[in-house]
Amino acid sequence: MRALVQRVTKASVAVDGETAGEIGPGLVVLLGVSKEDDEADAEYLVEKTANLRVFADDENRFNRSALDIGAEVLVVSQFTLYAETRKGRRPDFNQAAGPEDAKRLYEHTVRLFRDKGLKVATGRFQEHMLVSLENDGPVTLMLDSADRQRPRRS
């Protein structure tokens, strides 16, 4: 699974001109699911995201996490995070999970964020969405559950 995480002052997602979800200060999580992902990938990304220290403390240092400050989270399904663009000009989405598996893992991920006690809003799975956000910093980080399998650099 991949998550593009953005620290925001506010964010919303609309479907057919209607607000589907909105948050105040917190994190927008654009979530991509690959064919190889399972519940362990979701658990890793939720744990990592909820505990990332990307919010400022009193000394303006990145020392607080979403859990520390009670941040809100907007989770939006984003299969395009698995686009392959090395060859040609048209993105290839063959590594993205099919709709059934992707929806199951997306919904599982949303439940895991809620189980952490975070206020969670969502978009609508497999719908055309308009996402509006005010990136704070800007702070934008890419997380990939495959990283847990890779050795750390020394």
Task: Count the residues in the chain.
Answer: 154
Mean of the pLDDT values across residues 125-144? 97
pLDDT at 150: 79
DSSP 74-131: EEEE-GGGG-B-SSSSS-B-TTBPPHHHHHHHHHHHHHHHHHTT-EEEE--TTS--EE
- On average, the pLDDT of the chain sits at 96
SS3 content of the chain, % helix, strand, coil (to 5): 30, 40, 30
pLDDT at 154: 64
Phi, psi values for residue 58, rounded to 5°? -65, -20
105 vs 80: CA distance, rounded Å: 16
| From 80, 109, 122, 140, active-site residue | 80
Instruction: Find tokens 């979530």 and name the residue.
Output: 31
pLDDT tens per residue, range 38-81:
999 999 999 999 999 999 999 999 999 999 999 999 999 999 99
pLDDT at 153: 72
pLDDT tens per residue, range 4-22:
999 999 999 999 999 999 9
Express as a percent the part of the chain with pLDDT over 70: 99
Q: Look up the pTM and report it.
A: 0.94
Query: Mapping DSSP to helix (H, G, I), strand (E, B) and coil, where does residue 58 land?
Result: coil
Angle at 35 between CA 112 and CA 28, to 5 degrees: 40
**85 tagged catalytic:** no
- Is residue 119 over pLDDT 80? yes
pLDDT at 107: 98
Question: Are 13 and 131 a contacting pair, CB within 8 Å?
Answer: yes
Question: Are 110 and 122 a contacting pair, CB within 8 Å?
Answer: yes
pLDDT at 125: 94
Domains of the chain: 2-146 (3.50.80.10)
